[in-house]
Each structure stands twice: as structure tokens, then as C-alpha cells.
Structure 1
């Protein structure tokens, strides 16, 4: 039996590792379901989702030249939807209020230095008064 990318098959989990699960497909062919392809949400421990001997439906997502077969359980489910790619035309247009004229390096550096000095002055004001530094009242 030839395994083709995109086909959905029934398989049996034969082994579990920390990075995925090995699934035996029809014809005694084994493929790997990577941990990121087990469920729609984040999977910390694959043992919470699969056990050796479980029957699972998988979708073939790649077949490499050396014979390795990549499988996905989440893409085999009926509820899975492919994420849509956004083209440049679909991006929302920037509002006029968001427009900032291009700054050259010197202008950016001057703005950075001013912001940095303001933050340092504020930080010094707040910390000196708390630890009794210069100019702080005592007693």
C-alpha cells in the first residue's frame, strides 16, 4: 500500500517518546506523530493524550525520501481548520493618526536619550526618598 500526503488513515500507537508517538499504519508501516500534531492546544505531556495500543485516525502530512512518514492527529479531526494566510491586500490600512514621519538616526538617538534621562531622573527621585538619600527628610 502506498502512503500519500493528505490521506487519512487508521493506525495503532506502538510507542511513545517525549517528542511524539509512533503509529503503525496499514501494511506494517510506521510513522511519527510529533507532539505538536497531537492536539489543537499545547501538549506538555503526550501521555495525557495517548497510550500504547490506542487506535487513532491520522493524516499523512509528509513523506520523506528516506522513508520517514510525518503524521498528524489534529489535522485528521473534522473540527480542524487550516490557518488562513493573510496577504498584503488583506492587512488593515493604517489610520492617519498612526502615521509617524520617518526619523533619521540622530533624531531617534536624541529622542532615546531624552526618554532615558527622564526615566533615570524619575527612578532616582523615587529611590532616594525611600532609602534616606540626599535631601530626604529624617526623623
Structure 2
């Protein structure tokens, strides 16, 4: 059985370094599971997740011309059902998105590009002038009052 990208294999951890773990695959070849491919969450110390001699299921994510094999443990696990498919899922509501929708409703329809651009520029200038006003007064800039 040749090792191809995308295939799932069983392997044995043969060595651990600070950047990943070496896994012996069938037919005697060895691949590397980078520390970022060990678990879905952040892995500070790989020794918390793997030990030499552990049997692991890995997915081949790349095979380089020089024979190096890149492996992933987290991609070998079955992916959970997408969020939309879960019962009771409610997507996050973006406040800015809702605010933009209310602008559209107020205008009685969809905005064209020029209207969107004009609104963006106005909002941007308002935010920038407010930011400048607050930062200059705190730094003692040109517009600050002195008393």
C-alpha cells in the first residue's frame, strides 16, 4: 500500500521533539506530525498529548519529493457535524450588519455602490475625527486646551 495524500493510516509514535512527533507508518516509513496538527486546540507541550509508543491514527497531508511525509492527527479524526446542522444552532448576529440593514430599510430598498461608498466615507471621517479629537486632547496636541 503506497502512502498517498489524504489517506488515513495507523502508526506508532517513535519520537517526540519540541516541534512535533515522528510516527512510524506501515512499510517502515516515518512521517512527522507537526505540533500544530496534534489537536484542535493550542498545544504548548506535545508531551501532554502524545507519548513514545502510542498508537495513533494519522492522515497524510503532504508527501515531498525528498520523501518527507507530513501527517495530521487532528485531520484524521472525523469532523463533527457543521454548526448549521446542529439542533438549536443560531448564527451570530453582527451588529454592524444589522445596522446596515436598517439603513437599507429606511431608504426603502437596496443601496447602489455610490450610496454605500458615500455612507462608508462619512462614517469613516466621523470616526477618524472623533479619534483625533480624543487622542490629541490626551497628548496635549494642537487642539488641546491649556489652563
Determine the C-alpha separation between the residues in 1 that align with 2:66 and 2:81: 29
Q: CA deviation at 1:26?
A: 0.3
Matching residue within 96, 100, 104 for 2:120: 100
Determine the C-alpha separation between the residues in 2 that align with 1:42 and 1:116: 36
How has the CA–CA distance of structure 1 residues 59 and 80 changed in structure 2, closer, same or farther, with 3 Å as cutoff? Answer: farther
2:44 is equivalent to residue 24 of structure 1: no
Question: Over residues 10-33 of structure 1, what are the superposed CA-to-partner deviations in whole Å (9 max), with x where a residue is unaligned?
Answer: 000000000000000000000000
How do residues 111-130 of structure 1 correspond to structure 2 at under 5 angstroms?
Answer: 111=129, 113-121=132-140
Determine the C-alpha separation between the residues in 2 that align with 1:94 and 1:66: 54
Q: CA deviation at 1:2?
A: 1.3
Task: Give the length in aligned residue pairs.
Answer: 110
Aligned-pair RMSD on alpha carbons?
3.1
Structure 1-normalised TM-score? 0.66
Q: Which runs of 5+ in 2 are unaligned?
A: 83-96, 105-115, 141-146
Q: Which runs of 5+ in 1 are unaligned?
A: 83-91, 122-134
How has the CA–CA distance of structure 1 residues 67 and 102 changed in structure 2, closer, same or farther, with 3 Å as cutoff? Answer: farther
> 1:74·1:80 contact (CA, 8 Å) conserved in 2?
no
Bigger proportion of residues as helix: 2
Determine the C-alpha separation between the residues in 2 that align with 1:62 and 1:115: 52
How do residues 1-139 of structure 1 correspond to structure 2 at under 5 angstroms?
Answer: 1-79=1-79, 95=100, 96=103, 99-101=119-121, 111=129, 113-121=132-140
Displaced runs of 4 or more, over 6 A: none
Q: CA deviation at 1:79?
A: 3.5
Determine the C-alpha separation between the residues in 1 that align with 2:44 and 2:50: 12
